[in-house]
Structure 1
Amino acid sequence: MIMDGSTRMDLLPFADAHAVTVAGWPTSAGEVVMWCGQQEFPVPTQTITAWNRDEDVRAHVLVEDDKVVGYGELWFDAEEDEVELARIIVAPDNRGKGVGRVLVRGLFAQALGEGFTDVFMRVHPDNENALRCYREAGFAPVDAALAENWNSAQPAGYVWLRGDAEAPRS
């Protein structure tokens, strides 16, 4: 259970039945690119369920009053001893209300609870709302040289962020 003020939200494991709901959230092809890098709009539900077949991916939904309001994934990399938060999206009606921050903090807590302290995320540089949300959730940009190195193999010049385990979680 995650509390945000007086609101109770639960971070639950993703189930295939959630894919229909999540697939309906991106409002444009541009939003799909910023969310998950896909070129197909709308994103097929089968794509979302397929993401979760990877053994290193653990997807979650954030639920408020029995309604799914957020989706995000943890990508575990045992070889590098790190976790990446990925494919974070909030239902359109819930954007701008702190739901994304609650979701990111919950996913970050899951990663820390698994014993990982190196927790990263990459964000499309044009996604200003997401960048603001993630900074408010305790993430800060990595060193510019490290970001440049990581971006050398990426399709976009992402902003790379690292979670601060010492940041307040209120």
Structure 2
Amino acid sequence: MDLLPFSPAHAAHAATVAGWATSATELALWCGAREFPLRPRAVIDWHGDGDVRPHLLFDGGEPVGYGELWLDADEDEVELARIIVAPELRGRSIGRTLVAGLLARALETGHADVFLRVHPDNGAALRCYLGAGFVPVEAQLADAWNASQPVAYTWLRHSPATPAG
């Protein structure tokens, strides 16, 4: 499998990625969007922020996963975000492969910390992230970060002591 930056050449895959959320509930758990189905243009629009680094995971030329790196130079951190796997391929460790690839890219940025957040009702994603070497942040830190969030996310930090993948 190959993890590649989502480039203008991949724009046709925006519809594929947008379609991977199979219900309004799944869409909210994935990216917080409320309008189902997600418009392909929304996926492209996410890339407008210069601090967002979108990626596609390919298997044999077909996209099988999507995720982003959100860089924050002021805080010296990277957040892994909007991670999703094609629905027909879930449960086959592709999510863990995708997260490991995104984590490797995040560590290459040189930022001190790598985080991600998961909706509290997304147990499958939480298991994937824990299996990929992430650990929960301290409760006080999670509470502070959740103060301005629409839900009380589970916040995770990459733990260098835990192997990725």
Taking structure 2 as the reference length, what is the TM-score of the superposition? 0.96
Q: 1-side partners of 2:110 and 2:11: how far apart? A: 27
Q: 1-side partners of 2:112 and 2:92: how far apart? A: 28
Decide whether the 8 Å contact of 1:117 with 1:165 is kept in 2: no
Match of 2:4 among 9, 12, 19: 12
Helix, strand or coil: the match of 1:62? strand
Hey, what does 2:137 align to over in structure 1?
Answer: 142
Determine if the alignment matches structure 1 residue 99 to structure 2 residue 129.
no
Percent of residue pairs bearing the same amino acid type: 59
Runs of 4+ residues deviating >6 angstroms: none
Match of 1:152 among 139, 143, 147: 147
Counterpart of 2:137 in structure 1: which amino acid?
V
Counterpart of 2:4 in structure 1: which amino acid?
L
Q: 1-side partners of 2:104 and 2:160: how far apart? A: 9
Decide whether the 8 Å contact of 2:54 with 2:67 is kept in 1: yes
Q: 1-side partners of 2:86 and 2:111: how far apart? A: 28
Counterpart of 1:71 in structure 2: which amino acid?
Y
Match of 1:122 among 111, 117, 120: 117
Determine if the alignment matches structure 1 residue 86 to structure 2 residue 81.
yes
Hey, what does 2:22 align to over in structure 1?
Answer: 27
- Root-mean-square deviation over aligned CA pairs: 0.9
Deviation at 1:117, TM superposition (A): 3.1
Deviation at 1:114, TM superposition (A): 1.3
5+ residue gaps, structure 1: 1-8
Moved more, 108-117 or 131-140: 108-117
Counterpart of 1:57 in structure 2: which amino acid?
V
Counterpart of 2:132 in structure 1: which amino acid?
A
The number of equivalent residue pairs is: 162
5+ residue gaps, structure 2: none
Match of 1:50 among 17, 33, 45: 45
Deviation at 1:119, TM superposition (A): 0.4
Taking structure 1 as the reference length, what is the TM-score of the superposition? 0.93
Give deviations 1:43-86, integer Å, cap 9, x for gaps.
00011100011100000000011110000000000000000000
Match of 1:63 among 54, 58, 66: 58
Match of 1:75 among 70, 84, 99: 70
